[in-house]
Amino acid sequence: MKQRKLYRIFLIAGIVIAGFFLISGSFYTYWSVASPQKTCLSCHEINPSFNTWEASAHRDISCFECHGTALSNGLHSLKEKSGMVFTHMKTDVASENLRMTELQLLQTMERCKNCHESEFTNWKSGGHSAGYADIFLHETHNKTEQLNGDCLRCHGMFYEKTTADLVDPISQQGPWKLIEPEKTRQPVIPCMACHQIHAPGETVRQPDFANPNNIFYARNLTKNSVGFYSRHEKKHFQLEQLPRPDMVLFGDTVQTPADPVYRLCVQCHAPSVWHEVGTSDDHTPVGVHQGISCNACHEPHSNNQRNSCDKCHSDVSKNCRLDVRTMNTTYANPASSNDIHFVGCVNCHPDQKKKSN
């Protein structure tokens, strides 16, 4: 009798398990091959994301190329994805509140590499790929400035918790350590700090070869997919939406670069609240390079500025008839007092006050 009962339990359990695999298996296959209108879009919350994707530069790329399928990262990801659905059922969040976790975002970023390898490696070679440990365990910085919540505005903008959950102790003494060791190498400025993917964009098309001159006129002025992620607002600001600051130098208004990319850089490489050039981390060019945008000299992603001078200067400079690369500036010598961002004619020609700049 007892044996029969046990057998029955096993049988039922077996059917249930087999049924589960059958259901989830076919569901999974369906999910992976069907068009997004039939899978991802099924939940009305995703609808806005679908619409923005459909108008974006990535409209020919399936959701799962970036977000992965439910099983692509093992059970962990499955749990998180169903977590997304569960939040919805429990609290009926409006779609505007649907957001990925930092971990999901970093996993998504790993997939950018598959298609944008050169941008990825350039980013990796520059200062913007610093990890949590580089920024938050920096001896000199921490000894001179108390760690605080605002740090996360410019590094770690997708971190969901507070600085106190990240570093211990919050003091100027140290020694400091990261509370979650897995954050050590995680990047504090991932691609999405400067890029919004679900944003209007154009796919690449081939030009009209019959009329080469029109190729120029078909080009766009700016890229919508470049934008700044505001931790405070939990959203991206496209370049055009970013403010162009009113900058001053010793009381005089400074002409800032018209290039919208400058507005992105100055969000982090920012002046003090008085907007005085050169204060805090500001690099707004004044002097001989006033009005010239950051990315005229700095390449995007790598920030590399090594080969930039030749783009504008020929063998000898226009005014001084010297090789700009060997003149006494920080470009030639980091110890020079003539910072390439700020140097003016008067710095090198003190007797000829204000020659032109």
Partner 1 sequence: MNITRRKFIQSLSLASGSLLLFPACGGSQKSVWRFLTTEEAETIIALAEQIIPGDQDPGATDAGVINFIDKQLVGFYSNFQETYRNGIAALNQYCHEKFSQPFEKLEWNRQTEVLKLMEKNSIEGEYWKENPASRFFRMIRDHSMQGFYGSPRHGGNRDYVSYKMIRIDFPHIIGQNRYASRCETLNAFAK
Minimum CB separation of residue 343 from ligand HEC in Å reads: 5
Q: With respect to ligand HEC, which residue has the nearer C-beta, 3 or 356?
A: 356
The answer to whether residue 128 forms part of the interface with partner 1 (CB under 8 A) is: no
Minimum CB separation of residue 5 from ligand HEC in Å reads: 47
Separation CA 86–CA 28 (nearest Å): 18
Minimum CB separation of residue 342 from partner 1 in Å reads: 4
Tell me which residue of 60, 67, 66 sits closest to 84, measured CA to CA: 67
The answer to whether residue 309 forms part of the interface with partner 1 (CB under 8 A) is: no
Separation CA 188–CA 102 (nearest Å): 10
Q: With respect to partner 1, which residue has the nearer C-beta, 79 or 124?
A: 79
Three-state SS sequence of 59-89 = CCCCHHHHHCCCCCCHHHHHHHHHHHHHHHH
Q: Which residues contact 238 (CB under 8 A, 6 or more apart)?
A: 196, 199, 224, 226, 227
The answer to whether residue 84 forms part of the interface with partner 1 (CB under 8 A) is: no
Q: Which residues contact 311 (CB under 8 A, 6 or more apart)?
A: 296
Tell me which residue of 97, 98, 22, 112 sits closest to 65, measured CA to CA: 112
The answer to whether residue 224 forms part of the interface with partner 1 (CB under 8 A) is: no
Alpha-carbon dihedral sign for residues 84, 87, 90, 93: negative
Give the one residue of 62, 184, 328, 347 binding partner 1; rule: CB under 8 A: 347
Interaction residues for partner 1, span 273-302 (CB under 8 A):
273, 275, 277-282, 286-287
Interaction residues for partner 1, span 248-277 (CB under 8 A):
249-250, 266-267, 269-273, 275, 277
Give the one residue of 241, 255, 319, 352 binding partner 1; rule: CB under 8 A: 241
The answer to whether residue 94 forms part of the interface with partner 1 (CB under 8 A) is: yes
The backbone torsions φ and ψ at residue 282, rounded to the nearest 5 degrees and listed phi first, read -70, 140
The answer to whether residue 41 forms part of the interface with partner 1 (CB under 8 A) is: yes
Separation CA 108–CA 192 (nearest Å): 10
The answer to whether residue 344 forms part of the interface with partner 1 (CB under 8 A) is: yes
Q: With respect to ligand HEC, which residue has the nearer C-beta, 183 or 289?
A: 289
Helix axes 102-115, 117-125, angle to 10 degrees: 120
Separation CA 136–CA 166 (nearest Å): 9
Minimum CB separation of residue 12 from partner 1 in Å reads: 19
The answer to whether residue 233 forms part of the interface with partner 1 (CB under 8 A) is: yes
Q: With respect to ligand HEC, which residue has the nearer C-beta, 3 or 91?
A: 91
By CB under 8 A, the count of residues binding partner 1 is 63
Q: Which two tokens stand for residue 311?
A: 């783009």
The answer to whether residue 167 forms part of the interface with partner 1 (CB under 8 A) is: no
Please, how many CA atoms are within 13 Å of residue 308, restricted to the half-sphere of its CB?
17
Minimum CB separation of residue 30 from partner 1 in Å reads: 4
Q: Which two tokens stand for residue 271?
A: 């002046």
The answer to whether residue 168 forms part of the interface with partner 1 (CB under 8 A) is: no
Catalog residues that contact partner 1 under the rule CB under 8 A: 22-27, 30, 34, 37-38, 41-44, 54, 82, 85, 88-89, 92, 94, 144-145, 150-151, 154, 228, 230, 232-234, 237, 241-243, 245, 249-250, 266-267, 269-273, 275, 277-282, 286-287, 337-339, 341-344, 346-347
